[in-house]
Amino acid sequence: MAGIRPEDLEEIFSYHAPEAGQPEKYEAIRSSAKSFAAAVLANTPPSPDQTVAIRKIREAVMVANASIALKGRF
């Protein structure tokens, strides 16, 4: 991939309504991330690192969902 082009911005920053089969993929990712986040919470002490770990899991879910919505184009 050569990088993001100015003409790609409309596609990247637009709402993408879920298509057939996508809601199930979103749910699988969220469910797995929730399990992982619960394991982090249960096995690490409350701390800034714990907060960052949960935040990174949340970010991973968002980026994975974007990958689905954008069909891997970016």
CA end-to-end span of the chain: 8
**Model pTM score:** 0.86
Q: pLDDT by residue for the chain (74 residues), tens digit each?
A: 578 999 999 999 999 999 999 999 999 999 999 999 999 999 999 999 999 999 999 999 999 999 999 998 88
Rg (CA), the chain: 15
**What integer pLDDT is reported at residue 29 of this predicted model?**
98
**What integer pLDDT is reported at residue 1 of this predicted model?**
56
**What integer pLDDT is reported at residue 74 of this predicted model?**
86
Q: What are phi and psi of 57, to 5 degrees?
A: -65, -45
The full length of the chain comes to 74
